[in-house]
Amino acid sequence: MMANPHAGEVALTLNGERQVLKLTLGALAEVEAGLETDTLVALVERFEAGRFSTADVVRIVVAGLRGGGWRGSFDDLVTGEIAGGPLEAARVAGALLARAFTVPR
């Protein structure tokens, strides 16, 4: 599966399978419901400043996977193997946020 960055998509390999992630409106609502801050803007600011938590990364990646049609659970992600490890997961989370809040040119 190819990820379309103009559609806000980001690719991630989970358990050897390439997944396409996207932060849909429903996925963003899911992220916001579990935030330790009061707004998504505060979360974006934390990512921009490099002050995000592992829980932030997991929450965003799970929401992005679900927005891309994945049917797994939080536990499936935290017990799964992400190609590139935690650094790749953080990169994907940051890219998802950036693409969700950037207007394509």
In a domain, residue 52? The reply is yes
Q: Choose the most confident range, by mean pLDDT, from 21-25, 49-53, 79-83, 94-98.
A: 79-83
In a domain, residue 78? The reply is yes
Q: What is the chain's alpha carbon radius of gyration, rounded to the nearest angstrom?
A: 13
Contact 88, 77 (CB under 8 A): no
Q: Choose the most confident range, by mean pLDDT, from 23-32, 34-43, 83-92.
A: 83-92
Note down the domain range covering 16: 5-100
Domain count within the chain = 1
In a domain, residue 105? The reply is no
Q: What is the mean pLDDT of the chain?
A: 88
What is the predicted pLDDT for the residue at 103?
Answer: 64
Share of the chain above pLDDT 70, in %: 93
**C-alpha distances out from residue 65 to 10, 49, 51, 78, Å:** 9, 24, 23, 13
Rounded (10°) CA dihedral 96, 34, 87, 67: -40
- The answer to whether residue 63 scores a pLDDT higher than 90 is yes
In a domain, residue 18? The reply is yes
In a domain, residue 45? The reply is yes
What is the predicted pLDDT for the residue at 70?
Answer: 95
Least confident of 55-59, 82-86, 93-97, 98-102: 98-102
